[in-house]
Copies of this chain bind each other. A is one copy, B any other.
Amino acid sequence: MSVQAREIRLASRPHGWPTEENFAFADVELPSPGAGQVLVRNTFMSVDPYMRGRMNDAKSYVPPFQIGKPLEGGAVGEVLESGVDGVAPGDLVLHGLGWRTHALTSEFTPLKPIEGVSPSHFLGALGMTALTAYVGLLDIAQLKPGDTVFVSGAAGAVGSLAGQIARLKGAKRVIGSAGSAEKVERLTGKLGFDAAFNYRDGDVRTLLAAAAPDGIDVYLDNVGGDHLAAAIDSLNRNGRIAACGSISMYNEKELPPGPNNLHLIVGKRLTIRGYLVVDHGDRLPDMIREVGTWLASGELVAEETVADGLDNAPAAFIGMLRGENTGKMVVRV
């Protein structure tokens, strides 16, 4: 069996914000899988901030996408045809060939469907997104019960899980920032944050100081910029920052200057530690066990913004960079 597949390629490298012109669609024919391969019909694909970095032709922690070649990213799908013993048509798998309707691959992870939980969550609340929050809080920032925790991008994929995981792990107070009044309301309403603010309402330092009158102990940073400076101001002695991204920088053509209060890390004995979730795959089973339990019991809410159709993937990706999503942004292929 061969299938007609549609894929999205990098047409040109964005300068600053990406536009739809940077993407091109192509139809290809995929053959039957060889030994060790599976042919998968993708059901959901992930759009994530780090993909913006791969669109630049710059040395980074993952190699850049190539112009004229299909984009890549996390996806889940159903096996159509299998060249692997023990994997049968209909099986659910996770793999790295998103941005296309079908994938032919030898690198995949079989998934066990969870009753009542959409398979799309394996791209979010039970996948790398949640692992980013989980490892950042517990391993990198060494969250302790009683800590006050600040999460930026708190209505986003990582942030909305991070705030809830912090609370469920015993944080005394959880504070989030987001980019609209609606998001802020959802943080304190639906997601159980103790306080939240709209960072567009004023100076982030002032807004955070008001939301955290007794300071913060842990900051999960996925935006950098003003938020990082504000966190350094508000951190208490021995505070920890886990840095997993700088979305505020990804579309800047010239790098803005950094925080002018970095010298405070000495007197306050602060630790800033960068990490990438790819180094922490060993924690995936722990995370799935803990978060899976919370998800099943309803203690944790896994929000998703689902865009429909592969054709809408570029718009979904750009929208995610602009913060238009609530929780994890995925595309139903």
Contacts and interface: CB of A to CB of B under 8 A. Distances in A.
Interface in A211-246: 224, 228-229, 243-246
Interface string A264-299: 111111111111100100000000000000000000
Given A258-B258, A259-B258, A271 B269 contact: no
Contact of A274 (B256, B269, B276): B269
Nearest to A255: B260
A272 B275 contact: no
B269 A272 contact: no
Contact of A228 (B262, B268, B271, B275): B262
A261 interface: yes
Given A258-B259, A267-B276, A269-B274, 4 more contacts: A255-B261, A257-B258, A264-B274, A267-B274
Interface string A91-126: 000000000000000000000000000000000000
Nearest to A258: B258
Contacts of A228: 262
A65 to B, nearest CB: 16
B246 A263 contact: yes
B255 A258 contact: no
Given A255-B261, A257-B260, A258-B259, A274 B279 contact: no
A130 B249 CA distance: 39
Given A257-B257, A257-B258, A258-B258, A249 B263 contact: yes
Contacts of A266: 61, 243-246, 274-276
A4 interface: no
Contact of A262 (B224, B244, B275): B224
A2 interface: no
B274 A273 contact: no
Contact of A271 (B61, B229, B259, B272): B272
Q: How large is the interface on A (under 10, 10 to 19, 20 to 34, 35 or more residues)?
A: 20 to 34
A226 to B, nearest CB: 12
B259 A269 contact: no
Nearest to A246: B263
Of listed A259, A266, A271, A275, residue having the most chain B CB within 10 A: A266
Contacts of A271: 271-274
A223 to B, nearest CB: 10
Contacts of A61: 266-268
23 contacts: A60-B267, A61-B266, A224-B263, A246-B266, A249-B263, A255-B261, A255-B263, A256-B260, A257-B258, A257-B260, A258-B258, A258-B259, A265-B272, A265-B273, A267-B274, A269-B274, A269-B276, A269-B279, A270-B273, A271-B271, A271-B273, A272-B272, A272-B273
Contacts of A258: 229, 257-262
A309 to B, nearest CB: 32
A5 B64 CA distance: 70
Nearest to A272: B272
Of listed A244, A245, A275, residue having the most chain B CB within 10 A: A275
A213 to B, nearest CB: 16
